[in-house]
Structure formats: C-alpha cells, structure tokens
Amino acid sequence: MYPAAIEKYVRPETVAEAIGAIGCFAAGEAIFLAGGQSVMQAVKTRLLRPRCVVDLQSVKELKGVSVGVSGVTIGSMTPYAALAQETSLDGAYQAVRDAAARVGDRQVRNRGTIGGSICWNYVAACMPAVALSLGMEMALKGKGGARNLPAHEFLGSPLETAREDEEILVSLNLPTALANTGSAYKKWGLVTDALPVVGVCASITTDGSGNCASARIAVGGLGEGPRRSSAAESALVNVSVDDLDGIARALQVGSDEIETQSDMWADSDYRKQLIRSLGAEVVATAFARAAS
C-alpha cells in the first residue's frame, strides 16, 4: 500500500530543532523518524497517518557511545551495526553487542537504531529484553523539559511506552558496572536473523569465589512484552558456572514463572523449553564473561 498524504518533511540538525518542529502539530499528527525500519511499514499500511515526519538522521548529538565515570551512554540514533562493533561494551554490557549483531538482516542493522527499537517496543524485538536485563535508563527531552525513566517504567505493553508524542529519546544510559559482571543475549527464530520466537538476556555478577552474587534475567518474545524472572534470578544466587544442575533448576523455575503464549510460530510449551535451553546457554556465557 501507499502511505496517506504527508504534508511536511523536516530534517533538523539538533534536538532543540526537532522538538520545535514536532511542537507545531497537535499530538499524534507528527512523528519522529529514527531508522524507519518499523515505523515506515506502519506508515505504508496506514496504521500511522502522520501529517509531518521529523527525520532525526542529521542530529549528530543522538549518535555514538561514550564511557565515563558515571557509566555508559548510548545515543538513541546509534545504529545496530555500530553497536555490534563497540568493544567498550564487552564484559558487563556485551549483551548489547550480542543483540545488535543479530537484529534483522544486514540492511536493517545498518539503518535501524537502538532508540527506534526501544520506542517501537515490538513484541518480538531483541533490545527491550536487553534493556530490562541490563537496567538501562531512558533519557527523554521534550517541550516540558528532560526526564529519566528506568527501562521497566518506560516499556509498556507491546507497541506502548511512556514516551510522550513530543518527546525524543535522547540516550540509553547504563550505570557503572560492578566488578566481575558479565552479560549475554541469545535468541531463537524460525530462520537465521529472524525475529525471536524467544530471546533471553542475562546479567551475572560473581563474588570473589566465582559464585553468582546477583543476577538479572529477562525474556523477550512474550505476548505481554518482555519481562524479568525474579524466580530465576533468586535461584541463581550462590550458583557457580560449573553447577549445571543449579543453572538448569534456575531456568526451570524461570520458565514456570513466566507466562508464554501459543501462536503460529510456536506453542506455549515450546517457548518454555526455549527459555530453559537458551537461558542455560546465556547464563553460562554471562558467567564466563564475568570471570574474564
């Protein structure tokens, strides 16, 4: 299908210009365009009918990764391809690289952005689960000023977030990582580079003896959106990387806790099996990265 008529196209060079441009229209009449890999499909099928498109491609302040004393800042317009090569994320935040390297195909990874994915919050996206597991904080700017929201408050049901229409997601912020922390992400899809039927992200912090001191486990591909498993996280405490039975028990209670759906791609029980099998692999990888 062809999109409905679009009256105006704006390509600002600063965040302030972008906010000013979208403020000229009533709520819902203008949209921000990031990589366009998801939203343009919605425009073409007329699920979205904006009067104005504000293209953020030229806003340089929204791109790049910086590491400082307060943690890691990822610009919302940073493309997946750049994140997949960002070695400063290795170890504690390597799950971001894992996910970015497997999002869509090569074309999508070069055009799609992490901020666009988080704001679209598609049911089968990779990045929302990673954001939950790593404890990302979303920095927003709009006409009313700036605010920060943790991932669990920002992300709602699929295709819903706490972002207001006139707000820009400026960056995704990660706190300074604790010592001996590693993370990993893995998905399973019907074909290579497919959307995940299930995706699992794990962040593990170990104590001086190599046992798990704390864990954060999040699962994506769920009908109600990504969610963490507090049961799996609790069960992993004091488990070591060599305790395969302990890891398996933790992922078992995690799969029991998380509600999964049946659809044309997989039934509920198969998704629970994926949580257990993928989860065990991801936790083992996160343990290894924490040790190194």
Both 65 and 169 in one domain: the answer is: yes
CB neighbours of residue 49 within 10 Å: 14
Is the pLDDT reported for residue 195 higher than 90? no
Both 51 and 73 in one domain: the answer is: no
The answer to whether residue 2 is domain-embedded is no
Q: Give 216-255 pLDDT, tens digit per residue.
A: 999 999 999 999 999 999 999 999 999 999 999 999 999 9
Residues facing 140 on adjacent strands = 147, 169
- For residue 91, what is the domain's CATH number? 3.30.465.10
pLDDT attached to residue 48: 85
Is the pLDDT reported for residue 107 higher than 90? no
- For residue 188, what is the domain's CATH number? 3.30.390.50
* 246 phi, psi to nearest 5 deg: -65, -40
- For residue 44, what is the domain's CATH number? 3.30.43.10
What pLDDT band is residue 39 in, cutting at 50, 70 and 90? Answer: confident
pLDDT attached to residue 1: 62
Could you give the percent of the chain with pLDDT greater than 90? 81
The answer to whether residue 204 is domain-embedded is yes
| Count of domains observed in the chain | 3
- Element spanning 74, H or E: strand 71-75
The answer to whether residue 157 is domain-embedded is yes
Q: How many residues does the chain have?
A: 292
Domain enclosing residue 103, as ranges: 60-175
The answer to whether residue 1 is domain-embedded is no
Both 87 and 31 in one domain: the answer is: no
- DSSP percent split of the chain into helix, strand, coil, nearest 5: 35, 25, 40
Both 196 and 91 in one domain: the answer is: no
